[in-house]
Copies of this chain bind each other. A is one copy, B any other.
């Protein structure tokens, strides 16, 4: 695979239904699509259990990990199927608007309803509209991310890095 768009941020996708079946996977292929309404897209392989769960329940949660839970991110990225949940150390929390659990150790949890699905190549692009969210005010003071928080950047395979604490500002005036 060509990694010319990498390093890319790694997020966690939680799917399923509380009390029935739940899975978590690591996903790099995530982007915003619209600011207002708040819509995102995430590409998921039909081979993944998460694909079946999102297709079935039409809801998912996107959780934002930091490097503090890198071991769990790796479990969720490298293992397949719901069995991996027993290997992870994260804990679940009650959602506000969907029936998919949040991840307590994540610095933000966004709850989505699926509003579109598009198959392209070897993945399906799931389009989700935000129905609720919660976040750690210390990591997102004033609604923007604080550099130095240890956001997970995926380089390749088991190699990750994080962002620098320094802020660069262009000198040109807008």
Contacts and interface: CB of A to CB of B under 8 A. Distances in A.
Copies of this chain present in the complex amount to: 2
A153 interface: yes
Given A3-B143, A5-B32, A163-B163, 10 more contacts: A7-B145, A8-B31, A31-B41, A33-B43, A41-B125, A70-B170, A155-B167, A158-B174, A161-B167, A161-B168
B153 A162 contact: no
Interface residues of A, number: 76
Contacts of A121: 33-39, 129
A162 to B, nearest CB: 6
A137 to B, nearest CB: 12
A97 interface: no
